[in-house]
Structure 1
Amino acid sequence: MTQKHNISYLDYNSTTPIDSRVLDAMLPFLKNSFGNSSSTHHFGQIINESVTQARSQVAHFINSESSEIIFTSGATEAVNLAIKGVAESYKIKGNHIITVSTEHKAVLDTCKDLERKGFEVTFLPVKENGLLSLDLLEESIRTDTILVSVMFVNNETGVIQPVKKIAEIAHEKGALFMTDATQAVGKIEVDVRDLGIDLLCFSGHKMYAPKGVGALFVRKSDKRVNLTSQTHGGGHEIGLRSGTLNVPGIIALAKACEISSQEMKRNRKIISDLRNTLEYELLKIPNTSLNGDLTKRIYNTTNICFKGQDANVLIGRMKNIAVSNGSACSSAVFEPSHVLKSMGLIDDDALASLRFSLGKYNTIEDVKLVVEKIKKLTEPQ
């Protein structure tokens, strides 16, 4: 199924194909049920009921209340709303924010924008395996720290941070905890109550829904989290995100959550086996090494350094294979991965690294093709 148009697609962390069941669920809202869910007429209210049901499905998927789900255009918008919203709401308490050097650019660039506006941001380093030092985090939190933002699963290496423990440390020090869970939601169980998360962001297009829809979880129970709206004009989404709702996208996101809840365990076993086979075979190639922790990582991702190679050249020569040399959101900028450099890789090794991210439509044939092609391309000439 992944080899449509003769392409073996191993770039699921960048984006996923739409599940046909998700497409079927959203199509009626692109055709006959096209109304505005905010309209007061009967047609609009019927559609609003579908949005309400979808919100409940998404909330149930991460164990939150429906009123705690804010629909957005994706994780990047959710990240901006969360970080800037907290900064503006809590600036009387303090102006210090903590994040990590290996975060997605959505978090890093948002924090840098706040620095230009007078906020102080600490960008914590990571260890060679990509994990954050909890002792360093604890030492870095100050009385004026208002937010700690740490990515759940890294998009380039798949490294999983201990978010539950991080949340505990942040709360003990009186700070809020936010996580960009874009690469976690839909792949592994995410329970915002159990994990103690205050703010959580994710996108539909990483979990077999279309691009252009995502969500922000904003905790309201137990610990009140206040955000200042960043988009004005209509007061939609309890005043936090104005704009006519993307009803087809919202319906699609809810369906994707429903499917994930039913198939996550099965997908995990199949995808994990494929990833492990791929990784085992590729690491047989001379001068290769794994980037990131061997065990504390998501099951669909492997990031491998092919020392002495140029990742961009390899990608360009694999016309029928889709893999990545980093985040798709940064691919317009030709420079070493900031994630890998933060983990201590020199520029040449970072530029020689490839990310392989698998999904539920991959097959063993995809794996065999990729291994065969890369072995051929990396053979000494």
Structure 2
Amino acid sequence: MARHGQGAGGMIYLDYQATTPLAPEAFEAMTPWLRDHFANPHSAHRPGRVAAAAVEVARDQVAALLPSSGRVVFTSGATEALNIGLVGAARMMRGRDPGRTRILLPDTEHAAVRDTALALRAEGFEPVLLPVRPDGLLDLAVVQASLDARAALLAVMLVNNEIGVIQPVDTLAKSAHDAGALFLCDAVQGAGRVDLPVEADMIAISAHKIHGPKGIGALWLRDGLEIPPLIHGGGQEGGLRSGTLSPALCAGFGVAARLMAERRADDAAHVTALSARAKELFAGWTLNGSADHRYPGNLNLRRDGLDAARLMADCRDVAFSLGSACASGSGRPSHVLRALGLSDAEARSSIRLGFGRTTTLDEIERAADAINRAADAQG
């Protein structure tokens, strides 16, 4: 497959953890449903049934990325999917056993899980933020010691969005099950790139992180698992997520998921080669997070004494991140980097480079030259 960049002299995009370029094939799949076909897929007439059929084709394509032992529920994105899964499962578990009120999660979880768990304090739940080691990985002994009879749910991200660290999610899911708890996995950064946890009870993914459109995601639920909905209405999506689906977004998501499966080996080889070259070009920088247990398309790097915010301003032709795009405007040091034991100064001297299918080697080299020159100019 030919690689294409952003054009000579143009913006170099290295923020794949925030979002990915829309695949041309996904765009083409969406176009008829935006331009020609407008029927509601929940209507009983023929145009509605045609739209519904397109939704189900997309559902099957997305399901093919996920374990075979479950069902796919479309949502507006991974944030909604994670809220439905976490809140619904917590309430269900406490309903079965009033003593199960603990929600366990790493201190490095995405805000969609972390803030949702913290908000459940208002309902009497007890969020437990598990510490991670300096490499970003959970200590399995600490997790197992925390999984007692009070545990309702363990929620762990497969690939961390800020530092790219891969957690041993299947092992963690088994530990949760041994304690009688459920396991929720945020697989947004890992879907189609690394193996998903077959032992999970719930998995959340997002279309726009796999070259699909923004505004749609999915929650996978293990067969037999029934959780209460967060919103009520027309009873769409098996009663779990009411609201009219967009056939266009579903179609784009489905094709993007199909391409992730078809191109996984090629994408992996390409990203691994880019990562190896980037590490050579940033040899004087320190890698944040495990060097061995990580997705290679995410490099979180720091340089002592660097003002990363100033660096970003000085490198206007390179799109990279200082952390999570969801929290980039907060002004606070990354909670993920602080959880690794980094100081505020070290966290603020860190940048995240994300690359993937359409990134070229030339772009990596030009970006590294611009970033290194700007960093050197700071003294």
TM range (shorter): over 0.9
TM-score by length of 2: 0.95
For structure 1, list consecutive stretches of 5 or more residues without a partner in the other structure.
none
CA RMSD of aligned residues (A): 1.2
Deviation, 1:276, is 1.6
The answer to whether residue 171 in structure 2 is matched with residue 162 in structure 1 is no
CA distance in structure 1 between the aligned counterparts of 2:255 and 2:194, rounded to whole angstroms: 17
Aligned to 1:258: 258
Q: How does 1:4-19 map to 2 (within 5 A)?
A: 4=7, 6-19=10-23
The answer to whether residue 360 in structure 2 is matched with residue 363 in structure 1 is yes
SS in structure 1 opposite 2:64?
Answer: helix
CA distance in structure 2 between the aligned counterparts of 1:123 and 1:325, rounded to whole angstroms: 23
Aligned to 1:37: 41
Deviation, 1:225, is 2.1
Match of 1:181 among 181, 187, 203: 187
Aligned to 2:226: 226
Deviation, 1:157, is 0.6
Q: How does 1:101-180 map to 2 (within 5 A)?
A: 101-180=107-186
SS in structure 2 opposite 1:90?
Answer: helix
Aligned to 1:271: 271
Asked if structure 1 preserves the Cα contact closer than 8 Å seen for 2:281 and 2:365, the reply is: no
The answer to whether residue 347 in structure 2 is matched with residue 350 in structure 1 is yes
CA distance in structure 2 between the aligned counterparts of 1:163 and 1:371, rounded to whole angstroms: 33
CA distance in structure 2 between the aligned counterparts of 1:30 and 1:296, rounded to whole angstroms: 41
CA distance in structure 1 between the aligned counterparts of 2:367 and 2:10, rounded to whole angstroms: 12
CA distance in structure 1 between the aligned counterparts of 2:185 and 2:101, rounded to whole angstroms: 19
Aligned to 1:209: 212
CA distance in structure 2 between the aligned counterparts of 1:63 and 1:114, rounded to whole angstroms: 29
Say how many residue pairs are matched. 371
Deviation, 1:127, is 0.1
For structure 2, list consecutive stretches of 5 or more residues without a partner in the other structure.
none
What's the CA shift string for 1:115-155, capped at 9, x where partnerless? Answer: 12210111101000000011100000111211100000000
CA distance in structure 1 between the aligned counterparts of 2:178 and 2:312, rounded to whole angstroms: 46
CA distance in structure 1 between the aligned counterparts of 2:360 and 2:122, rounded to whole angstroms: 47
Q: Which residue identity lines up with residue 259 of structure 1 in the other structure?
A: L
TM-score by length of 1: 0.95
Match of 1:299 among 296, 300, 308: 296
CA distance in structure 2 between the aligned counterparts of 1:275 and 1:8, rounded to whole angstroms: 16
% identical aligned pairs: 36
Aligned to 2:199: 196
What's the CA shift string for 1:148-198, capped at 9, x where partnerless? Answer: 0000000011000000100111111111111000000022233x5xx2110
Greater Cα shift, 175-184 or 274-283: 274-283
